[in-house]
Homo-oligomer: A and B are copies of this chain.
Amino acid sequence: MVLCVDTPRMREWITERGIESILLDLIGSLEASFTRWLEFERAPRVASHSHHGVIELMPTSDGEYYAFKYVNGHPINPSRSLQTVTGFGVFADVETGYPVLFAEMNLLTALRTAATSAMAAKRLARADATTLALIGTGSQSEFQALAMKAALGITRVRIWDIDPEAMDKFERNMASSGLAIHRATSGADAVAGADIVTTCTADKANAIVLTDDMVTEGMHINAIGGDSPGKTELETSILGRARVFVEHEPQTRIEGEIQLLPSDSPVEPLWAVIAGDAPGRERADEITVFDSVGFAIEDWTALQYLREQVAGTRFAGDVDLITSPQDPKDLFSLVASPALAGAR
C-alpha cells in the first residue's frame, strides 16, 4: 500500500491547514531545496507535444528520494469545461525503488508555484513593495496573491484579465482576504504603480501581455505564464533592461521568456541567490525578472513536504498499485488460476 492524497483529501488538508500557512511552510521547504540545488538531478522535463497541448513528466532525485510529476497544459481546455493544467505526482524511495506517495498535484502545483514566486520576490522585489499587479486572473491568481501577501506583506492587488468573469471570480474569492483590490481597465492600468507584476496568462502563443512601456524602474516582474516553446508573455525588450533570474537554465532557454533571446543572453540562477552565493536585488531602481517555468525540484519539495504533513493522518489514504508477493521471485503465484495451481 502506498500513501495516496487524492483530490478530496488534498482539498480537506488545504482547507483545514489554511493556504497562507501552507504557503509559508512551503517557502521554507523550497529555500532548503534551492540552497542544495546542485545535489538534485537536473534534466529538462520530458515533453510530448501535440497540436492540442503538451503532456510532461518532470522527474528529479536527491539520491535519497525520487519524485516526478505528470502535468498537462491544454489552453483550449477551459472552453470545454476542463482544466488547462492538471497533474499528479509520485514520491519514491531511491533505495528500494518503491513509490511511497501518490498525490493530486493540481492544487499542490498552484501552491508550490505561488510559494516559488514569493520566495523569489522576497529577494528580487523592493523591500518596501506593497502593490502587486496580476495580469491573468485564472486558476493560479488567488494563490499568487495570497503568497505575496503572506511572505512579503503585499496589501494591494491590481488585476487585469481579458475575461471579465475571471476578474469577477478573483474579486469574489479574495473579498475576505484583507487585500485591497483594484479592478483595472487594461493591462497598463493594472501595472501602473505596481511594485511587483505577475503575469499568469495561459495562451499557448507568443502573446505580449506586458509591453516595455508599462515597465518602470524598480519593478520586479514574476513571469509565470510563459512556460513552453512558443508560449511567452513579455515584450522581449523588457528582458534587455532587466536582470533575469531562472530556475534550470537549459529548460528555461527552451520554455521561458528567454526562448526569444539569443542563447547566450545573460541570466542568473535563482538558486544561487537563495543559497546566499549571489546577490538578489542590489538597487532600488533596477528591474528584475523571474522567468519562471516551473522545475521538478519544486514538485519534489512540495511532495516531500506533503508527505511529512499527512503521513499517519486522516489526510492520507492508500492505493494498492504495487504488487507484493510473499516470495519476491514468485509473482506468478498471484495470478495462478485455481486449475493451473492444482491443489494449492
**A residues lining the B interface (CB < 8 Å):** 4, 6-8, 10-11, 14-15, 18-19, 41, 43, 46, 48, 50, 52-55, 57, 59, 61, 63, 66, 68, 70, 72-74, 77-78, 80-84, 86, 88, 90, 92, 94-99, 102-104, 106-107, 110, 137-143, 163, 165-166, 169, 172-173, 175-177, 319-325, 327-342, 344
Contact = CB atoms under 8 A, between A and B. Distances in A.
Given A46-B46, A320-B8, A336 B173 contact: yes
Contacts of A82: 96, 98, 324, 328
Contacts of A172: 344
A68 B66 contact: no
Contact of A332 (B90, B143, B321): B143
Given A14-B335, A61-B50, A61-B55, A86 B77 contact: no
Contacts of A332: 110, 139, 141-143, 173
Given A18-B337, A59-B46, A340-B176, A104 B322 contact: yes
Contact of A4 (B18, B137, B165, B319): B319
Most chain-B Cβ atoms within 10 A of its Cβ — which of A8, A78, A332? A332
Contacts of A84: 328
Given A41-B48, A323-B86, A11 B330 contact: no
A302 to B, nearest CB: 14
B98 A72 contact: yes
A48 B40 CA distance: 11
B329 A176 contact: no
A59 B322 CA distance: 19
A176 B6 CA distance: 42
A74 B46 contact: no
A4 B52 CA distance: 25
Given A55-B61, A57-B68, A81-B328, A86 B104 contact: no
A88 B138 contact: no
A57 B55 contact: no
Contacts of A88: 99, 321-322
A61 B48 contact: yes
A25 to B, nearest CB: 15
A331 B106 contact: yes
B329 A138 contact: yes
A176 B341 contact: yes
Contact of A97 (B73, B324, B339, B341): B73
Contacts of A72: 92, 96-98
6 contacts: A48-B61, A50-B95, A55-B97, A82-B328, A83-B331, A104-B323
Nearest to A79: B328
A173 B41 contact: no
Contacts of A138: 329
Given A84-B328, A169-B327, 13 more contacts: A4-B319, A8-B320, A48-B61, A52-B95, A55-B94, A73-B97, A107-B335, A137-B329, A139-B329, A139-B330, A165-B329, A169-B330, A176-B339
A151 to B, nearest CB: 17
